[in-house]
Chain A
Amino acid sequence: MNIPKHDVLLIGGGGAGLRAAIAASETYRGADIGVVSKVYPMRSHTVSAEGGTAAVMREDDNLDLHAYDTIKGSDFLGDQDVVEAFVKEAIDEVIQLEHWGCPWSRDEDGRVSVRAFGGMSVKRTLYAADKTGFHMLHALFQTSLKYDAITRYDEWFVTSLLVEDGRVCGVTALNIRSGNIHAIGAKSVIICTGGAGKIFPFTTNAAIKNGDGMALAYRIGCPLKDLEFVQYHPTGLPGTGILMTEASRGEGGHLVNSQGERYLSEYVPGKMELGPRDILSRSFIHEQRQGNVFEGPDGSYVHLDLRHLGEKVIDEKLPFVRELTRNYVGIDPVHEPIPVRPVVHYCMGGVHTDINGATPISGLYAAGEAACVSLNGANRLGSNSLTECLVFGARAGQVAAQHAADTDFADSASMAKMAQDEQKRIETQFFGNNGKERVANIRDDLRKTMEEGAGIFRTEDALKTTCDTIRTLKERYENIGIDDHSRVFNTDLVNALELGYMLDVAEGLAHSALLRRESRGSHARSDYEERDDENFLKHSLAYQTDGDPRIDYLPVTLTRWEPEERTY
């Protein structure tokens, strides 16, 4: 029985996945790499990142400063050994990307430019206008085309991880175009599937971000770490959730309430618009409670005012902001303020890995937003995530390739059998029963309960309700029916499978949030308003069980920075 096999198999072809694929193929000659992605890699959500990517590039900056900013931003939940490795390797990684053709914006002398960003004490954010993620992704993807060792499975959707004798030995994947399920063998599998913003109703995230990889790992017993930490970006467009980059504040934009005040002076006087995202998003809610916000058809909002920057700066530094506001809200930021409000943006939590991207399960790795390597702790600083994709994508790729060099493939016949079983499982579950529940209805109900219980401010009661609702939704999911019973490009089926992933991640998230009875970073409990280092200076680990998830804890690694009060 012949099935395709690769030394290292990537799930996901975004920033982290492509960086990992290239790193793996460069680790040893002859390494054979596969990249499975449910979309063509250049469609991956890295493409939507706007503002920039952080690294120490200038004389007024140093590694300790970047590390301290990141650790303080994380509300001291970041693992400090991870942060130290990150800031150090970030520099080579962004230069490597420069060598691969990324069109970074430049100073007159030809050096790459840097801009200010929230929570960063000096300018250290490299950028390509305000389409940094787009340019990074395309540079990585186009560069990846020259590696003959990389085989792509474009528009293949992974439905399960194959496990034999306690180690991951491949995946089953739906070839979306043919409708067939195949086994793909691998010595190492790296999950780079991004976050799960789509479990919330109002998000900057693309349609594809449903926590697929997190759920795949969770289902085979791998813990999901620090899932309760969900970042709201303070400046999304009301209604659509389209991101207005933090660079618009980095370049000098103001946030103004309905009283015409730059209200952040009340909350982050030392940083104002360049405060960290968690605090800025909460400030909005405080202003809302005081009635200092505008009201529109899509709810409350404040103004992001760029007018004083002038047309030239806006066109040079923030052209995408101008394009998006003109297209989607009919507003020209050169002449009018932009309506904005907080919107779900990023999952700090994810698949539990060590500093190299290795999970506790042999043969399984993860990097990027799908992973939780514990760089971002309780709140990520803007522009650290693109760099994280590079640094930890590269690390995971190297370590996974080394593991592959010392490992054998599992038996093809048994993997092929597992793929046949998987095809039967899916046909029975989605085509065989005459379930009455629609994908969209369960999904909408999930998103609603996530916002109600696990939004910007959380309480015991609301979280309990959300946990109960998710349990009910999982029961309803058992009775799902889909309209489309055909094979070729059946997106109805893909959506149904994605919904299963979303429910699993939501369950882990809500239960982790329920048990964290403190406020830290993005996790704000109205009933436990203080940070509680005595009881909660630790990572949560959510394990799937037959009932509610089991939540364990893991100490935070501290090296040189003692936790202190986090004020700006």
Chain B
Amino acid sequence: MSDLRTIKITVLRYRPEEEDAPTEQTYDVEFRDDWVVLDALNHIKDHIDGTLSFRWSCRMGVCGSCGMMVNGEPKLTCAAMLRDYYPNEVRVEPLVNFPIVRDLVIDMTDFMDKLKAVKPWIIREEEKPVSEGEYLQTPDQLKDYKQFSQCINCMLCYAACPVYGLEHDFVGPAAIALGHRYNLDSRDEGNQQRQHVIASKEGIWECTYVGECSVVCPKHVDPAEAIQQTKVATTTNRFKSLVMPWGNKK
């Protein structure tokens, strides 16, 4: 290819068996015009330094593996074109607000626990047998929750969230949005069961509505909106329950 240019990639390194604190390392990478940051990392790993560790898989922005900080912003590295940074150098670091396991790999067990805590599955008092066919759901009912179902669990919103950075008990944008997704689904009856997590102090009330989560989401999910909608609904329900304390089952 004739259009090769060289870009400097500085990567945060952390090898817990060898060093107590992270360091950084710079590589010169010749790149093609259509290369993304992830391609540069793979080029480094394959041909320059096999010790660099990072997660990736689909390289088409849907598996959610390759989120990292690129020049200080949370990005899917498979969707960040190098040409947009050139001739400046690119700094790649692990997503902030998470413990680092190794190099660009973060520990995401906290999110996995929080995801489970919001019960992200259909809850019904009575399950309809499969033999009776599908639940009907109109396109409008689908639209109510569709955008919140687009979350790929990439963790960019947690890296962008100033509250999560300070307060790790915060359930956080993606998990709240996914709990909300099921609350809004016409097939679901589990709102009440999710409330003690979502509407708790560590849930929506922790959020100060900075809205960075929605800005960085690569799938245009709007977790801030999910949180806002839940705050309104929860408040309404609380006032309703003052009037009719026994009639607020769902």
Contact = CB atoms under 8 A, between A and B. Distances in A.
B19 to A, nearest CB: 11
A70 to B, nearest CB: 22
B142 A105 contact: yes
A108 B143 CA distance: 12
Given A39-B65, A240-B59, A483-B50, A100 B34 contact: no
Contacts of A320: 62
B63 A489 contact: no
A544 B248 CA distance: 65
A99 B120 CA distance: 13
A327 B108 CA distance: 27
Nearest to B104: A489
Interface string B180-211: 00100101100000000000000000000000
B15 A45 contact: no
A337 interface: no
Contacts of A490: 53
B139 interface: yes
A440 B47 contact: yes
Contact of B50 (A99, A106, A439): A439
B57 interface: yes
A44 B15 CA distance: 27
A142 B64 contact: no
Interface in B142-184: 142, 145-146, 149-153, 178, 182
A488 B57 CA distance: 19
B128 interface: yes
A239 to B, nearest CB: 6
A45 B121 contact: no
Interface stretch (A130-138, A217-225, A381-389): A130-138
B187 A101 contact: yes
A177 interface: yes
B222 interface: no
Contact of A239 (B34, B47, B102, B137): B34
Interface in A62-81: none
Interface stretch (A109-117, A420-428, A506-514): A109-117
Given A142-B121, A327-B79, A106 B142 contact: yes
Given A43-B64, A487-B17, A207 B34 contact: no
Interface string B27-60: 0000000100000000001110111011111111
Interface string B72-93: 0000000100000000000000
Nearest to A135: B149
B62 A134 contact: yes
B133 interface: yes
A35 interface: no
A325 to B, nearest CB: 11
A296 B238 CA distance: 62
A163 interface: no
A324 B188 CA distance: 32
Contact of A103 (B60, B128, B146): B146
A483 B46 CA distance: 10
A138 to B, nearest CB: 7
B108 to A, nearest CB: 8
Interface stretch (A90-98, A343-351, A525-533): A90-98
B63 A486 contact: no
A48 interface: yes
A207 B142 contact: no
B16 A47 contact: no
A243 B61 CA distance: 12
A101 B188 contact: yes
Nearest to A93: B130
A240 B35 CA distance: 9
A489 B34 contact: no
Contact of A99 (B64, B135, B152): B135
Contact of B15 (A142, A243, A324, A488): A488
A206 B1 contact: no
Contacts of A483: 49-51
B121 to A, nearest CB: 5
Contacts of B133: 95
A221 to B, nearest CB: 30
A143 interface: yes
B101 interface: yes
Contacts of A440: 45-47
A442 B185 CA distance: 49
A138 B149 contact: yes
Contact of A488 (B102, B136, B185, B187): B102
Contact of B112 (A40, A96, A111, A243): A40
Given A99-B128, A206-B59, A110 B137 contact: yes
Contact of B34 (A103, A138, A208, A240): A240
A95 B62 contact: no
Given A110-B138, A440-B46, A146 B119 contact: yes
Nearest to B15: A486
B50 A438 contact: yes
B88 to A, nearest CB: 21
B131 A328 contact: no
Contacts of A39: 55, 57, 63, 65
Contact of A142 (B45, B60, B62, B120): B120
Given A48-B63, A486-B15, A489-B103, 15 more contacts: A42-B152, A48-B60, A48-B62, A92-B130, A95-B134, A99-B128, A99-B187, A101-B121, A101-B122, A110-B138, A131-B150, A142-B120, A145-B119, A207-B58, A242-B59
24 contacts: A39-B63, A45-B63, A48-B62, A96-B130, A98-B134, A98-B135, A103-B146, A106-B141, A108-B138, A109-B136, A111-B136, A134-B152, A142-B178, A143-B121, A145-B119, A206-B58, A207-B59, A208-B57, A324-B60, A327-B79, A439-B46, A488-B17, A489-B53, A489-B102
The 8 closest A-B pairs by CB, nearest first: A110-B136, A483-B50, A440-B46, A489-B102, A142-B120, A484-B51, A492-B50, A101-B122
Interface of A: 39-40, 42-45, 47-48, 92, 95-96, 98-101, 103-112, 131, 134-135, 138, 142-143, 145-146, 154, 177, 206-208, 239-240, 242-243, 297, 320, 323-324, 327-329, 438-440, 482-484, 486-492
